Structure 1
């Protein structure tokens, strides 16, 4: 998880949910599946265009980038990656970027691409205290305002530690309570939230409208590591039924821990979701 923390506008407004079936019996099926590129960090580092081409062939429609040693877009310029996405019929709707001295550059690049969301994958300062989370909230509000001025929506992607408590207060709640709901959105990593003992439905109800993005992953039954979908303990059906309540816009497959080549893993995960009905 430490490595992860360091390192979809769907055309026409299409939703992530497709209702199928007939008569009294109806089932929902996942459509327009997205993927976070941290799951493919090695192949993206070696051959970003080739890897994106393979993801498109698998059936992924929406992409979320992640930081790399070559920058936010794996050595490609905003113009170049935008063209690649257009050529492949993909949408780069979101991206993660490390909060540092180059943060304004990350905003400018996202705006140039037409990227809808820019996510911080870690806190800008350390300290598992209420005071630090209030300080972070102030920083996030400023970042949210800067992103808004460029036509980008700012947000934060959680791990496990944000759900720790100090003096009975859940630190993630402190962050939500002290950030502007219009300027700071949340990308809820469902897997790590559940590992931390949090109930996603509780957050969707208490903080309505704050969670337009999801990360979806499976977690091993005997260890807090991600695994191929369907092999772990996550109840995907129950989670997917909460899309409307969350007002979720884009959902991204993510798997940090790999047991086989990344593209094979992402193919297995895509096929699992494509067959899932709820």
Structure 2
């Protein structure tokens, strides 16, 4: 099974540039209102039949959609307004998208405006080296991208993997991004699974950088294999994370699972039941 990181490398997205893509609290009367999915979870299914797959996703009770860059384009071969309309007809909102901060950045923002989505999330760092200077330069580029998005009423953000939690001279690279980006311009989408795999505690980040994480990638992780698994089977204490959603500034949760016990739909059905039982 190809992991998302391997997919980005194979398609050149990890080396070609930064990839793009929101504050959430689950309303007590409707805990699924702001619960969504990152469509990379259904990457093969979306490539084969985007509309049919979205119908199956809606049937699971998912309300928020975050797209991922694919071989068929940012919207899986659909036009931005077309995908927006399909999601709305199914009772879902195309809320966010993972894209690249590259030579097509202007076009990417134009398409996002057409789709009506709220967030553009950069999902991977340019491969210019794991150095403090590179992360400071990236932070500057993120602030600029955030300004450009803000003028278009779009929120710009960044999604982490595990490598951002490496350090240089005792300074964690992810902290450099947080310390050198403007909170009103750069919204962090915290992938909780990669945080714990990196040996860090998401609650520590919620405490030190309160309100900086309006978006989550909720991903349980097999700590031995260092790959995603169904909720409750890995090393992420999901109920504990949710108790601290206010500190995080959480607005939307996007479930992402890259590896499955059987099929992505069966895994997502398990995950949705897990969340409902909370």
Same fold (TM over 0.5): yes
- 1:202-243 deviation line (CA, Å, top 9, x unaligned): 212222221110000111142211011121121111111111
CA contact (8 A) 1:117 1:154 kept: yes
Kindly report which structure 2 residues correspond to 1:191-202, keeping only aligned pairs within 5 A, or say none.
191-202=193-204
Kindly report which structure 2 residues correspond to 1:129-278, keeping only aligned pairs within 5 A, or say none.
129-276=131-278
CA contact (8 A) 2:197 2:223 kept: no
CA contact (8 A) 1:144 1:184 kept: yes
The separation in 2 between residues aligned to 1:51 and 1:90, in whole angstroms, is 13
TM-score by length of 2: 0.90
RMSD: 1.9
Q: What secondary structure, in the 3-state scheme, does the structure 2 residue paired with 1:159 have?
A: coil
Poorly superposed stretches of 4+, deviation over 3 Å: 4-7, 28-32
Residue 3, structure 1, aligned to residue 6, structure 2: yes
Q: Relative contact order: is structure 1 or structure 2 higher (C-alpha 8 Å, sep ≥ 6)? A: 2
CA contact (8 A) 2:136 2:180 kept: yes
Q: What secondary structure, in the 3-state scheme, does the structure 1 residue paired with 2:42 have?
A: helix
The separation in 2 between residues aligned to 1:29 and 1:63, in whole angstroms, is 16
CA contact (8 A) 1:218 1:227 kept: yes
The separation in 1 between residues aligned to 2:184 and 2:92, in whole angstroms, is 27
CA contact (8 A) 2:32 2:61 kept: no
CA contact (8 A) 2:217 2:256 kept: yes
CA contact (8 A) 2:187 2:212 kept: yes
Q: What secondary structure, in the 3-state scheme, does the structure 2 residue paired with 1:106 have?
A: helix
CA shift in 2, pair 1:147/1:215, >3 Å? same
- 1:61-115 deviation line (CA, Å, top 9, x unaligned): 1100001001111000111101101111110111100222111111111111111
Q: Which residue of 2 aligns with 1:63?
A: 65
CA contact (8 A) 2:203 2:244 kept: yes
CA contact (8 A) 2:81 2:114 kept: yes
Q: Which residue of 2 aligns with 1:80?
A: 82
Structure 2: tracts of 5 or more residues without a match: 14-21
The separation in 1 between residues aligned to 2:54 and 2:64, in whole angstroms, is 11
CA shift in 2, pair 1:134/1:205, >3 Å? same
TM-score by length of 1: 0.90
* Count, aligned residues: 264
Q: What secondary structure, in the 3-state scheme, does the structure 2 residue paired with 1:60 have?
A: coil
Residue 101, structure 1, aligned to residue 103, structure 2: yes
Q: Shift of the alpha carbon at 1:31?
A: 4.7
